[in-house]
Amino acid sequence: MTVTTESTVSGLPERWEPPLPNPRGPITEILFKALVGTPGDLEGVPPIEGDPLADDDLHLALYACYEIHYRGFSGVDARWEWNPSLLSLRGRLEEAFESGLLECFRDEAWRDSSDVKLTLNQIAAQPGPSLSRYLRDKATPDELKDYIIHRSAYQLKEADPHSWVIPRLQGKAKAALVEIEFDEYGCGRAERVHAVLFRTTMDAMGLDSRYGAYLGLIPGITLAPTNLMSMFGLHRRLRGAAVGHLVIAEMTSALSNKLVAEGLRRLGHGADATGFFDEHVIADSIHDMVALHDLAGGLVEQDPSLVGDILFGASAWAGIDAAFAQYMLDCWSRKKPSLRGPGGASVTS
């Protein structure tokens, strides 16, 4: 891996470009071969097949298309970001993903919901596989490390996708989102940025905390939640879904992070490892009310037509996160690896 120019925050590398991972199928094979060359037309991309919510090839390709809007990849020309051919492929991938989400998680009756806050509370209260309780009570040191690696795809860009939504809101909803994002970015203190706290957790556990370092090991079912928030954040038409995603994430975060922190302490880890999770127990116990009443409530006051989109975003996040949790628990119960093998080869089939 080649490290580019770096600055540091509390001794942690703050800027580097990860390499492209190995391809996982015909789509990433063609995409990655093109990305290392001069921006031009993508040709010969096959039809999109497989599970739209978990397929490795689909979600790695979509992640790579999105990543060019974030920090990019080593050796990939930044001009690919707005290349029409790449955007066309991204649109096809998004169409497959969104169609799968709509089929599984959208209820048309939500458009007539008279109490969006009540329905959001109902979505947040839905029972599901308790991965966080397993991590607190039973997880081995290696299982906890695997969990942290899986979560790195999401947590090392935490808050960034939602920042794209800020200019698409106004009034109370915009102010609420900025309040939440200000906390996520450390309230002006670089060392308290939540992504930096997560890197500190990774360092404390002996893991590689560089952004994207484990992308080649992370399966599609884990990339899907990260792609979900990128898709919602990048499309103005999905601003309601982005708000619903953030609201349900904040409403369900405090308890799960408390349990993970207790699991880390059970295995002897100290404050460096638990700091990220402890911070979320405190922050998200406040964020959840701001998100529910001012962000979601404020957006519905301004535009009641977005009720269905808000509830779809919340349900999609709850459902896809539950699928990830069940996947992890199933792998561990069957004593099978949850991460992909060396070189990105599948080890879970």
Q: What 3-state class would DSSP assign to 332?
A: helix
Cα-flanking dihedrals φ and ψ of residue 13, to 5°?
A: -65, 130
Q: What 3-state class would DSSP assign to 53?
A: coil
Q: Stretch 277-299: mean pLDDT, rounded? A: 90
User: Under a CB-based contact definition with an 8 Å cutoff, are residues 165 and 247 in contact?
Assistant: no
Condensed to tens digits (0 to 9), the pLDDT of residues 176-219 reads 999 999 999 999 999 999 999 999 999 999 999 999 999 999 99
What pLDDT score does 1 carry? 28
User: Under a CB-based contact definition with an 8 Å cutoff, are residues 177 and 162 in contact?
Assistant: yes
- Residue 107 vs residue 99, higher pLDDT: 99
What pLDDT score does 343 carry? 54
Q: Where are the domains of the chain?
A: 8-103, 113-344
The least confident of 12-21, 37-46, 128-137 is: 12-21
Give the whole-number percent of the chain exceeding pLDDT 70.
93
What pLDDT score does 348 carry? 38
What pLDDT score does 14 carry? 54
Cα-flanking dihedrals φ and ψ of residue 139, to 5°?
A: -60, 140
268, pLDDT greater than 90: yes
Question: Which residues does 159 contact at the CB level (< 8 Å), separation at least 6?
Answer: 181, 184, 185, 194, 195
What's the CA dihedral at 182, 176, 94, 65 to 10 degrees?
-20
The pLDDT confidence band at residue 55, using thresholds 50, 70 and 90, is very high
CATH 3.40.50.720 fits 113-344, yes or no: no
Condensed to tens digits (0 to 9), the pLDDT of residues 225-256 reads 999 999 999 999 999 999 999 999 999 998 99
What pLDDT score does 3 carry? 31
How far is Cα 275 from Cα 279, in angstroms, rounded to an integer? 6
Q: What 3-state class would DSSP assign to 13?
A: strand
Condensed to tens digits (0 to 9), the pLDDT of residues 145-174 reads 999 999 999 999 989 999 999 999 999 999
User: Under a CB-based contact definition with an 8 Å cutoff, are residues 225 and 295 in contact?
Assistant: no
How far is Cα 292 from Cα 185, in angstroms, rounded to an integer? 20
What pLDDT score does 8 carry? 44
Closest to 176 in 3D by CA, of 29, 288, 53: 288
Model's pTM, two decimal places?
Answer: 0.92
7, pLDDT greater than 50: no
Residue 8 pairs in a beta bridge with: 13
The pLDDT confidence band at residue 346, using thresholds 50, 70 and 90, is low
User: Under a CB-based contact definition with an 8 Å cutoff, are residues 278 and 261 in contact?
Assistant: yes
How far is Cα 215 from Cα 339, in angstroms, rounded to an integer? 10
Cα-flanking dihedrals φ and ψ of residue 12, to 5°?
A: -100, 140
User: Under a CB-based contact definition with an 8 Å cutoff, are residues 48 and 3 in contact?
Assistant: no
How far is Cα 154 from Cα 58, in angstroms, rounded to an integer? 17
Q: Is the dihedral of CA 47, 50, 51, 56 positive or negative?
A: negative
The pLDDT confidence band at residue 127, using thresholds 50, 70 and 90, is confident
CA distances from 209 to 12, 108, 154 (A): 8, 42, 13
The pLDDT mean for the chain works out to 92
Q: Count Cβ atoms within 10 A of the Cβ of residue 342 and give its class: 0-12 exposed, 13-18 middle, 19 or more buried.
A: exposed
State the number of CA atoms in the 13 A half-sphere of 298 facing the CB. Answer: 18
Q: Stretch 60-68: mean pLDDT, rounded? A: 98
Closest to 242 in 3D by CA, of 187, 313, 296, 176: 313
260, pLDDT greater than 50: yes
How far is Cα 300 from Cα 297, in angstroms, rounded to an integer? 5
